Amino acid sequence: MTDSEQLELAITALENQRSVLGDEVVDAALVSMREKLAALIETQKDTQQRKLATVLFMDIVGSTSITQDLDPEDTMIILETALQRLANPIHAYGGRVTRFMGDGFLALFGSPVARENEPEMGIRAGLQILEEARAYARELEAQWHIPDFNVRVGINTGMVIIGGSTEAENTIMGTTVNLAARLENAAQPGTVLISHQTYQHVRGMFDLQLLGPISVDGFDAPVQVYQVHQAKPPAFRMTTRSVAGIETRMVGRDPEMLMLQNMFRDTTEDTEVHVVTVIGDPGVGKSRLLYEFEKWVELLPEKITNLRGRATPEMETIPYGLIRRLFAIGFEILESDSAAEVRAKFRSGMSVALDSDQADLVGQLLGLDFSTSQAVQAQLGGECFGQLATAYLVKYLQVIAQEPTVIFLEDIHWADDSSLDLIDYLVAAVPDTRLLVICLARRTLFERRPNWGEGQDFHTQINLKPLSRRASRALVGEILQKAGDVPIDLRDLIVEGAEGNPFYVEELIKMLMEDGVIVFGEDHWRIELDRLAGVHVPPTLTGVLQARLDSLPPDEKMLLQRAAVVGRLFWDAAVAELEVRAESELDKQQITSLLDAIRDRELIFRREHSAFAGAEEYIFKHALLRDVIYETVLLKVRRVYHRQVARWLEVAAGNRIVEYLGLIAGHYELAGEWEMAVEYLLRA
């Protein structure tokens, strides 16, 4: 129960005591209580958020018929136990149950902090719910003689409003929620049904069955749905993205590719260890560069050992999670393997350098459960266990790296600190070997590890910058090779929107396909330019960018939201004018400090010259970033901010106001002040 609900109950109880306490006493007490309630409600309203989130509904199928012959107390025991157990996968995959509804629940992935893999986590939770339901069904059959216990799950991804005065932070509203509920109702017992919006985020991760459009109450058009069967096993080989089956050549990365090739030759010919960290924004092409480099390595005549590990957001708090994943992939250890199978595969993989006892110590250090091993039992808990296990891991690397060896480590910005520390130690411990370690990371790595690789002669950093406009045009031509001559307007729209990010190029083209602008066939694609109206940000990009936004400190996030209302180009003095309540006001020093911090994260840049005297001018790094941040601002707050921006521009423009009439009119229009908007448009 929320604080406001408790206060409302207290007010009601006090009202019922009027006959005992008298009106004067009750009224005097109620004044402060109602003021406090009003403040609480206002605070809850102000904590509302617009967010891209994944919503999951779960329902127990036919719960009434299952329990109709049971005593109410037994019914409560069975259903409460079921709901508690079925909710466990939600928590395990980073979601939260926001509402229990008799024989089902509503769960949310993406709040309070979003991760870019929320749709994947939601589906994995849904599949685990089915597993848990099957296990519980067997128990009900055996203990209560109740047959046919089953559940169904519906999942949808989209914009929602979170927070409010009804259920506080558990309030979730929007058509996204409604569709998730309809999908759950349409799902067959024992299945997970997802929307097309969710499917867009998880292409290639699950075995899916396209069921075709279905009619859904409350929605005008049929809704495309998919039934999820199972997660695909982790790939032991990297693949590259494609659009509608079109494989493209890598463009614009020849210098970086040459650097990797030369580093490999230095490593193998001079027998010296090297570490390369490729730094770049999401989607800029880090994985594609690695993919092309691996293809080049495979064509070399000599035998080359390679290992690959990849960190994920949930690994950040798991000790040695990245290193464990490295060997799990290398030794083909599956999550479904028994403890005995895991031990056998790990020992076999390590046998090139270590005996079984030594391998067991390494496995135990990395988090594999080898506690039944006599060697582990003899050393575990002793002061030397960690040092001994690490020494054996060094020995393993020294042996395999006598021959050319490449270790690929992807997304190390999500790796746990113990894995990163161990990588640093291991590489320094095997200097005279033919070992090349290639790490991929986003710039956020340096927020946690600002000195990563600093002062190490064997460490090289490659900063992967956005593609040039020429390279971007070439990439668009590669993807749309079946469309013949691509209209310049369409090509420029994609190039301008993606701003040098290959992933954004691909996603914008997919969006144009889904909107019917690009119609593809077997041999020829057709362009329908007349359908090119209003380009929106694809949901896959929204998830990536929103996760980045949610990782920021609250003050920085709030400032970026205000700046986004001003526009992609904004001024610190304009941002200083924006406030909803007096206590949300920031002074100039605070704003300057926050903008400096955001600049350090390379989300915005400061312009050398400003259009307004006494104001610093900034620009968002990416137009799509500004658009996604803008969409997270509540509509009621946007209107207030737009009005304040318009008034600031009126004053700041001074004698040059004629140049800004259209811009001022636009802000007044978005503020809902139509008369002022029309007045400025007429003047313009």
Residues 441, 278 contacting (CB under 8 angstroms): yes
Strands of 604-606's sheet in order across = 569-571, 617-620, 604-606
SS3 361: helix
Q: Name the pTM for this structure.
A: 0.70
pLDDT mean over 368-378: 89
333: number of Cβ within 10 Å? 21
Percentage of residues of the chain with pLDDT beyond 70: 88
For the cut 70, the answer to whether the pLDDT of residue 445 exceeds it is: yes
For the cut 90, the answer to whether the pLDDT of residue 421 exceeds it is: yes
For the cut 90, the answer to whether the pLDDT of residue 656 exceeds it is: no
Name the packing angle between helices 623-631 and 539-550 (round to 10°).
80
- Using pLDDT thresholds of 50, 70 and 90, give the confidence band for residue 45: very low
Residue 262 has a pLDDT of: 96
Write out the two tokens for 604: 């915005």
Angle at 682 between CA 676 and CA 684, to 5 degrees: 105
Write out the two tokens for 612: 């307004």
Highest mean pLDDT among 114-118, 290-294, 531-535, 584-588: 290-294
- Using pLDDT thresholds of 50, 70 and 90, give the confidence band for residue 107: very high
For the cut 80, the answer to whether the pLDDT of residue 235 exceeds it is: no
Which residues touch 134 (CB under 8 Å, ≥6 apart)? 190
Q: What are phi and psi of 485, to 5 degrees?
A: -75, 110
Which residues touch 149 (CB under 8 Å, ≥6 apart)? 60, 66, 82, 133, 136, 137, 140, 141
In the numeric block, the tokens 């908007």 are attached to 677
- Using pLDDT thresholds of 50, 70 and 90, give the confidence band for residue 233: low
Residue 153 has a pLDDT of: 97
The residue among 259, 629, 284, 240 whose CA lies nearest residue 442 is 284
Q: Is residue 15 left, alpha or beta, with left meaning phi > 0 and alpha meaning psi from -120 to 50?
A: alpha
Name the packing angle between helices 674-683 and 661-670 (round to 10°).
160
Strands of 435-441's sheet in order across = 305-310, 405-410, 435-441, 274-279, 459-463
SS3 18: helix
Which residues touch 367 (CB under 8 Å, ≥6 apart)? 318, 319, 320, 321, 324
139, with CB counted inside 10 A (0-12, 13-18, 19+), is middle
Residue 6's H or E segment, with its range, is helix 3-15
Residue 587 has a pLDDT of: 77
Highest mean pLDDT among 71-80, 164-173, 277-286, 615-624: 277-286
For the cut 80, the answer to whether the pLDDT of residue 238 exceeds it is: no
472: number of Cβ within 10 Å? 25
Cα 188 from Cα 216, distance rounded (Å): 15
For the cut 80, the answer to whether the pLDDT of residue 335 exceeds it is: no
Residue 286 has a pLDDT of: 92
For the cut 90, the answer to whether the pLDDT of residue 21 exceeds it is: no
For the cut 60, the answer to whether the pLDDT of residue 419 exceeds it is: yes
Q: Is residue 593 left, alpha or beta, with left meaning phi > 0 and alpha meaning psi from -120 to 50?
A: alpha
Residue 483 has a pLDDT of: 81
pLDDT in tens, 548-564: 788 788 899 999 999 99
For the cut 90, the answer to whether the pLDDT of residue 529 exceeds it is: no
Torsion of CA 341, 342, 343, 348, to 10 degrees: 90
* The pairing of beta strand 151-162 with beta strand 223-231: unpaired
Which residues touch 30 (CB under 8 Å, ≥6 apart)? 11, 14, 15
pLDDT in tens, 262-274: 999 999 999 999 9
Instruction: Give the ranges where 93-174 is alpha helix by DSSP (H).
Output: 118-143
239: number of Cβ within 10 Å? 9
- Can you give the C-alpha Rg of the chain in angstroms? 29
Residue 49's H or E segment, with its range, is strand 49-60
SS3 239: coil
110: number of Cβ within 10 Å? 27
**Whether the bond into 147 is cis, omega within 30 of 0:** no
- Using pLDDT thresholds of 50, 70 and 90, give the confidence band for residue 36: low
In the numeric block, the tokens 């490659």 are attached to 462
pLDDT in tens, 607-649: 888 888 888 999 998 777 888 899 889 888 899 999 999 999 9
pLDDT mean over 348-364: 95
Residues 375, 408 contacting (CB under 8 angstroms): no
DSSP E strand stretches across 498-582: 518-520, 525-527, 569-571
pLDDT mean over 401-422: 94
Cα 615 from Cα 644, distance rounded (Å): 16
Torsion of CA 619, 625, 627, 631, to 10 degrees: -120
pLDDT in tens, 477-528: 888 888 888 888 888 888 888 888 888 888 788 778 777 788 877 678 888 8
- Using pLDDT thresholds of 50, 70 and 90, give the confidence band for residue 44: very low
| Mean pLDDT value across the chain | 86
pLDDT in tens, 127-147: 999 999 999 999 998 888 888
Residue 198 has a pLDDT of: 92
Instruction: Give the ranges where 223-305 is alpha helix by DSSP (H).
Output: 254-270, 286-298
Q: What are phi and psi of 352, to 5 degrees?
A: -65, -20
192, with CB counted inside 10 A (0-12, 13-18, 19+), is buried
- Using pLDDT thresholds of 50, 70 and 90, give the confidence band for residue 72: confident
SS3 446: helix
pLDDT in tens, 592-601: 999 999 998 8
How distant is the alpha carbon of residue 608 from its chain centre?
33
SS3 465: coil
Q: Is the dihedral of CA 668, 669, 671, 674 positive or negative?
A: positive
